[in-house]
Amino acid sequence: MEPLDDSVVPEHAQAPKQQAREFAAEHIAPVAEEYFRSGEYPWDILEAGMDAGLIAQDIGEEYGGSGFDLTQVLAIAEEFYRADAGIGLTLLLASFGAEIVEAHGSEEQKEEYLRPVAENTQITGLAVSEPDRGSDLAGMTTTAERVSDGENADDEYVLNGEKFWIGNGVEADWVTVYAKTGDSETNRYGNYSLFIVPTDALGYEAKHIPEKMAMRASKQAHIILDDCRIPAKNRIGAEGGGFYMLADFFNFGRTVVGGQGIGLAAAAIEEAWDFVHGREAFGRDVSEFQAVQHKLADMRMEFEAARSLTWRAARKVAENDNAGLWAAMAKTKATETATFCAEEGMQLHGGRSVLTDRRIARVYRDVRVPVIYEGANEIQRNLIYNQSSF
């Protein structure tokens, strides 16, 4: 069976999708279990993805990328995550946050920081979440204080605080940091700004978060900013505009997370289908039992519903048509469908589902993550309710 067919994919996104499928079959799927066990960062696969022209290619052509749009990135995400979510996340995170620089940064910032990412000579990350705060964007406590003598052109910001769950926090050449620059009680959302922070800056320290149960081939970091000084010119856009820039960026990102959920759900369905067909119990093929057929039917229906919603959301977000609503719906439905399909797939595998060499067991672990990142699904439901009108 082929759950990830091209029927809902725009014509211009089908070639990148096919390329990603072939790349995943050659470079990701054969080593997915190995990287899950070792927990190592898949530098070799990342470099192969760069050579294949599949990394950081949503950056515009004028800065060295291919200008992939949302539907092209979504098509790639489906294929990467079907092969393996941990490796897939590493590949997608190589430019994470750079898109904010392209949308809101100065020309100087784009040439110095964006172009090397698009040309695959640097990788980056986005530092938002904190140890005690995850989805509360207006409650983050990391601060950025302007230090200036009023005349010096080399004004600085001094950053203090901690960031947690930061993809590529150790590996990246620079990260986009979300920090508090104001203290207005009447405009909480205007208190935050975004900054380009080189990882070799004094006062920047990062270490890996160890031993995750899922997506082990993707590395997240705990970052400590201790009087970390950066030039004032590294602020992205206007001071106080960080929340709004991030909210816009997450509409794109959450739609792509929908594609990640679709890829995981497809993997669960494929594994379950293959396992029950040709396996005997009580003198019959397991696939002949009505209870089994009903589980597979439910998995397929939920999958098709989630995929249709996700691809419709991609069009809505691209057109900026109530983008926040559609991105939240796609992210929530697709990631929860992945969870449902993984749980049903585990049940159909019976006792063998708990064997760590089983693909279904890795999928089952991995689906626990996308329901949380880029805003937990409880937050998405708030957005869906608040942005809906009937």
Active site residues: 374
Question: What token pair was written down for 17?
Answer: 């999708």
Distance in Å from the first CA to the final CA of the chain: 38
Distance CA 173, CA 168 (A): 9
DSSP letter assigned to residue 302: H
DSSP lists the bridge partners of residue 228 as 159
**Cβ atoms of residues 332 and 259 within 8 Å:** no
Q: Burial of 204 by CB count in 10 Å (0-12 exposed, 13-18 middle, 19+ buried)?
A: buried
| 167 Cβ contact partners less than 8 Å away, ≥ 6 residues apart | 89, 90, 93, 96, 125, 126, 218, 219, 220, 221
- Quick count: other Cβ atoms within 10 Å of Cβ 291? 8
Tell me, what amino acid is at 141? T
CA 172 – CA 168 distance, rounded (Å): 5
CA angle 275, 278, 282 (to 5 degrees): 100
- Residue 255 sits at φ, ψ, to 5 deg, of -65, -40
d(C-alpha 259, C-alpha 71), whole Å: 10
With contact defined as beta carbons under 8 Å apart, do 315 and 295 qualify?
A: no
- How many Å apart are CA 275 and CA 101, to the nearest integer? 46
Using DSSP bridges, classify how beta strands 235-236 and 174-180 pair: parallel, antiparallel or unpaired.
unpaired
